[in-house]
Amino acid sequence: MNPMSDPAPEHASGLATAGPADPEHDRTASYALDPGYVRALTDRVVSTTGESVPTYSPFTGQPLGAIPQSSTADVETAYRRAQRAQEAWAATPLEDRSRAMLALHDLILDRQDEIIDLVCWESGKARKHAFDEPLHVALTARYYARTAHEHLDPSRKAGVVPGLTRVEVNREPKGVVGVISPWNYPFTMALCDGLPALMAGNAVVHKPDAQTMLSALLGVQLLEEAGFPRDLWQVVAGPGRELGGPMIERSDYVCFTGSTATGKVIARQCADRLIGCSLELGGKNPILVLRDAAVDRAAEGAVRAAFSNAGQLCVSMERMFVADQVYDRFVARFVERTKAMRLGSGLEWGSDMGSLISKAQLDTVTAHVEDAVGKGARVLAGGRARPDLGPYFYEPTILEGVTPDMTCFGDETFGPVIALYRFHDEAEAVARANAGEYGLNASIYSRDGKRARAIARQIRCGTVNINEAFGATFASIDSPMGGMRQSGMGRRQGAEGIHRYTESQSVATQRVVRFAPMLGMSDQAYARMMTANLRLMNKLRRK
């Protein structure tokens, strides 16, 4: 395969249509996927409208199927079903929940080719980037299955009177969680936030993005096959502006991944109802290449940091700050690696980057690059659309000389475009990395891990990866992940990722003494006794 070339398109085994290519003789021939397979997935959408919306593959514009649309009444139905299922599920022992979660883990690994094929058809990404999706969901399922007791069992806390006050904290499920997931990682983001909600005893009502409904619905099918009750995870389909409000009105908690502007609207609506929400929002993520970085390793990592999933990744990098001492050597290697990338629209392994998701995304990327070039930025690699490969392909692009008056300087591009900046000292690099309103992810390349970790503490981002682009934090499920500042609130993964779906309940049992005068003691004497007790506890270094 030549650099920047297109491998011959392949059909997903078991999913693609077969037979004559003439729609006059075969009405299925115009569809990329078998209509029966698609109907088996879309039957899970709660819909009584009789309306449907076609969905298309970014690779070729070929239709994939039709998605039934939900009404506000359908949203109400979904929540009623989920609520009934949740009541029984909350009483299900943790061992049984964990067993279903581990069955899901194995199913995902067994069916990964099917998952990857469908993700590629819907999102247009390269197969190696689609593989990240079943990998991440399997990791998430296994983690919460294996740590369920650690996170959810009642925990003992120190009582106010040692030995006489027993305190336990229980973790109770919130009820029905509303999940609104994006298109860029349609299988991962469909499931990874909902799995800990299920593990904690909740039900889910889910609205996936319209462009990638089928990948999400495949995830729901696998949940049922793994042993989760069918009504426990409900799916609705339709525009967010129509269904988002009704979902928030019925949810006990809301989880959203998407734009900062929409996240703020959701946060206000949740605040009006006094319910919690977690929001992973936009980013303009920085990568720092320090003077002692291993240049080849940094250049390889920078390619993944900037161009994984064609840059359509919340934690991908769009700003790169490189030390004077290594700038020229690093840029030469980074440009060389970028120009050697293989673009392709097939389902086979071998492509380094796939397509953008839509014309809207292509238009944004094109506008950002043209604006920058028109104002004096230099293109070191890429810089043009590739309609010869597919309708929404754009070359991986490196810009130099980007200035604050250019749109791509501060606005999120969400495409395969990164800007290079030279820096003179590390304090300057940190200040520039922290500039702007976002704070989702950052990356630092240095041979000195201790110094890099110290610098990481100065960067206002929810995750920082050292000598790696984003995979180290994203795949470490035991650690929390989320944004600071305008990049969001709340965390997925780890203890925080499951505790957000629970209410903490403190239960205290008091023995022998009471918190009131006893045996004829006056109120004043009781106050003196309690004061003396506080002084004693402090001397004994007790909590």
Instruction: Report which of 294, 299, 311 is spatially closest to residue 335, judged by C-alpha positions.
Output: 299
Q: Known catalytic residue: 348?
A: no
| Residues 6+ away with beta carbon under 8 Å from 348 | 7, 10, 127
Predicted confidence (pLDDT) per residue in 470-495, tens digit? 999 999 999 999 999 999 999 999 99
pLDDT of residue 63: 93
Q: Output 23 or 91, whichever has higher pLDDT.
A: 91
Identity of the amino acid at 105: H
Which DSSP string corresponds to 488-526? EES-BSHHHHHHTTEEEEEEEEE-S--SS--TT--HHHH
pLDDT of residue 203: 98
Residue 201 pLDDT greater than 60, yes or no: yes
What is the Cβ-side half-sphere exposure of residue 144, based on CA atoms within 13 angstroms?
33
pLDDT of residue 157: 92
Residue 114 pLDDT greater than 70, yes or no: yes
Instruction: Report which of 350, 70, 358 is spatially closest to residue 211, judged by C-alpha positions.
Output: 358
Cα-based angle 118, 5, 391 (whole degrees, multiple of 5): 55
Sheet of 417-423, strands arranged across: 378-381, 397-400, 417-423, 317-323, 285-289, 441-445, 463-466
pLDDT of residue 537: 86
Identity of the amino acid at 511: R
Average pLDDT over residues 365-376: 98
Residue 10 pLDDT greater than 80, yes or no: no
Band (pLDDT 50/70/90 cuts) for residue 370 is very high
Predicted confidence (pLDDT) per residue in 316-345, tens digit? 999 999 999 999 999 999 999 999 999 998
Cα-based angle 456, 448, 455 (whole degrees, multiple of 5): 20
pLDDT of residue 514: 86
End-to-end CA distance of the chain: 66
Query: CB atoms < 10 A from the CB of 496, how many?
Result: 17
pLDDT of residue 17: 52
Predicted confidence (pLDDT) per residue in 494-539, tens digit? 999 999 999 999 999 999 988 889 888 999 999 999 899 889 989 9
pLDDT of residue 180: 97
Cα torsion 138, 142, 145, 147: sign: negative
Average pLDDT over residues 180-186: 96
Band (pLDDT 50/70/90 cuts) for residue 1 is very low
Q: Are 124 and 357 in contact (CB under 8 A)?
A: yes
Q: Known catalytic residue: 412?
A: no
CA 89 to chain centre: 25
Predicted confidence (pLDDT) per residue in 19-41, tens digit? 334 444 444 457 889 999 999 99
pLDDT of residue 406: 97
Which of the following is catalytic: 314, 318, 395, 461? 314
Q: Whole-angstrom Cα distance, residue 13 to residue 481?
A: 35
Return the percentage of the chain with pLDDT > 90, whole number: 88
Q: Whole-angstrom Cα distance, residue 99 to residue 107?
A: 12
Q: Whole-angstrom Cα distance, residue 414 to residue 459?
A: 21
Band (pLDDT 50/70/90 cuts) for residue 14 is low
| Residues 6+ away with beta carbon under 8 Å from 31 | 17, 38, 62, 63, 64, 65
How much of the chain is helix, strand and coil, in % rounded to 5?
A: 45, 20, 40
Weakest-pLDDT range from 11-15, 166-170, 294-298: 11-15
Which DSSP string corresponds to 162-190? TTTEEEEEEEEE-SEEEEE--SSSTTHHH
Q: Which two tokens stand for residue 478?
A: 């035991």
- The length of the chain is 543
Instruction: Report which of 39, 13, 54, 45 is spatially closest to residue 220, judged by C-alpha positions.
Output: 45
pLDDT of residue 106: 98
Q: Whole-angstrom Cα distance, residue 197 to residue 478?
A: 16
Which of the following is catalytic: 133, 280, 318, 395? 280
Give me the chain's average pLDDT, please.
93
Q: Whole-angstrom Cα distance, residue 134 to residue 489?
A: 25
Instruction: Report which of 378, 414, 382 is spatially closest to residue 396, judged by C-alpha positions.
Output: 382
